[in-house]
Amino acid sequence: MALSRSTRVNLLLGNGHFLSHFYSLCLPPLFLAWQSTFHVSFTELGLAVALMSAASAVLQTPVGFLVDRYGARRFLIGGALLMSLCITAMGFATSFWQILVLAPLSGMGNSVFHPADYAILSGSVDKDRMGRAFALHTFSGNLGFAAAPPLMALLAITIGWRGSLIMVGLLGVPVAVSIVLQSGILNDQVRHEPTHAGPTLSGRELLLSRTMLLFFAFFLLGSMAGAGVQSWLITVLYTVKSLTLAVASSALTGYMFGSSIGVLVGGWFADTYQRHILPFAVVFTTISAALTLSVGWLSVPGLVVIALMFASGLALGASRTPRDVMLKDAAPPGQMGKVFGFVSAGLPLGSALTPVPFGMLIDHGHPELILVLVAVLLLASLLCVGTARSVARQEPATVAAE
């Protein structure tokens, strides 16, 4: 049976997005092997991941400008190839400095995916299926995150760390080739379709507008909350609730699994009830915050904790696709690349900001505050998105051609 055009578009972009997230987490499982091979410190090992993430975060916005000006497909193909070949080249490294050079180059390739993918989705998928397309895109990235640690660990055990990097790195080549061969079905965003008479802004003024800064803060705060859970939930449940490491780890797994399922639920809702996506996002984010607080406050058995964290992840995941659709609706025509490049840079930034201060709280004897702060961050993010949605409707703007 022939696949529909929308399905083929989602599969092409989803494969690339899966690899982009997979490559982002493929290095930590190799740290012990690298330490033995290169005789480096854990600080130096962490630097490799930091350089990769920093390059991706910093370059997303400039790439977004390029995507809007020249089209997304060439950047998507080039980014996939660059990322893939850098990971492959790490398998041939003879000194650790070579990995430190290749890591930010890989991050450079990774930086294209959010601005390019969302620009293509907005131009290639029917409006009444946009929520589900965004949901599948996010879901494929989540699968990449989930698959990387166990698969890289298994490959490192069976064929060594060099063989692992070469094998998974080369997987990106057929993905890039498939995008080239199927590029005819990938339409760029509509570039000039103003639907209102409003102020004309430059690209820089658009990104620094109140609407986009509020959306950036929304993404940032939500990411900070998620990073707090991912980094410290196991420690909090072990030290505060006296749960076993197995139960605490299962609670985190339940949270992540629930979040992935919730993304798909949110995509269906965004398409079915387009006028109600803001209250939906607000309600489910609030539910997630409340469930997270309940885990910190209530004294319940381990199985109940796992169920509560699964439900918290499900609720938070369900709010994420409406979030992306609201940002798309706020972006002027032809500006998806720079808007998603800028705003989604709040995701890696938020993930970088939370772990250290939360760890300091635990070091100073206050692990019970972690889940409270997670809930506060989630609720604070709602103030940003509600205001951003309101401002976007009151003050629409067009963007001057660049």
Domain with CATH 1.20.1250.20 in the chain: 5-184, 200-393
Q: Which tokens is 119 given?
A: 């620009």
pLDDT-derived band at 331 (thresholds 50, 70, 90) equals confident
Distance of CA 183 to the CA centre of its chain: 24
Tell me what percent of the residues of the chain surpass a pLDDT of 90: 38
| The pLDDT of residue 375 is above 90 | yes
Q: For 47-51, 92-96, 260-264, which range has the lowest pLDDT when averaged over its residues?
A: 47-51
Query: What is the distance between the alpha carbons of residues 136 and 261, in angstroms, rounded to a whole number?
Result: 10
Q: Which of 162-171, 175-184, 326-335, 386-395 has the lowest mean pLDDT?
A: 386-395
* Fold held by 5-184: Growth Hormone; Chain: A; (1.20.1250)
* Residue 41 phi, psi dihedral angles, 5° rounding: -85, 165
Selected residue with higher pLDDT from 128 and 198: 128
H-helix or E-strand containing 232?
helix 210-239
Alpha-carbon distance of 224 to 221, in angstroms, equals 5
Could you tell me if 237 and 400 are in contact, meaning their C-beta atoms sit under 8 angstroms apart?
no
In the three-class reduction of DSSP (H, G, I as helix; E, B as strand; rest coil), residue 398 is classed as strand
- 219: Cβ contacts below 8 Å, ≥ 6 apart: 323, 343, 344, 346, 347, 350
Residue 265's pLDDT band (cuts 50, 70, 90): very high
Q: Which tens digits make up the pLDDT trace of 125-157?
A: 888 888 888 899 889 988 888 888 888 889 999
Tokens representing residue 220 in the block: 């940032």
Residues 169 and 83 sit within 8 Å (Cβ to Cβ): no
Confidence at 77, pLDDT banded by 50, 70, 90: very high
Give the number of C-alpha atoms closer than 13 A to the C-alpha of residue 151, restricted to the C-beta side.
15
At 348, list the tokens: 């890696």
First-to-last alpha carbon distance for the chain, in angstroms, is: 43
Backbone dihedral region of 298: left (phi > 0), alpha (psi from -120 to 50 degrees) or beta? beta
- Tell me which range, 49-53, 100-104, 203-207, 277-281, is most confidently predicted by mean pLDDT: 100-104
pLDDT at 101: 96
> What b/e readout covers 228-242, taking b as 16+ CB neighbours within 10 angstroms?
bbbbbbbbbbbbbbe
Return mean pLDDT, the chain.
86
DSSP structure string for 332-394: PTT-HHHHHHHHHTHHHHHHHHSHHHHHHHHHTT-TTHHHHHHHHHHHHHHHHHHHHHHHHHH
Superfamily (CATH H level) for 200-393: MFS general substrate transporter like domains (1.20.1250.20)
pLDDT for 103 equals 93
Token pair, residue 48, equals 């490799």
What percent of the chain is predicted at pLDDT more than 70?
A: 93
**Closest to 121 measured CA to CA, from 309, 321, 356:** 321
- pLDDT, residue 399, reads 54
Residue 93 reports pLDDT greater than 90? yes
Work out the average pLDDT over 289-318. 92
pLDDT at residue 394 in the model:
60
Q: How confident is the model at residue 402 (pLDDT cuts 50, 70, 90)?
A: low
* Better pLDDT: 387 or 47: 47
- Between CA 7 and CA 355 the distance in angstroms is 37
CA distance 165 to 161: 6
Q: What is the pTM assigned to this prediction?
A: 0.83
Assign 399 to helix, strand or coil.
strand
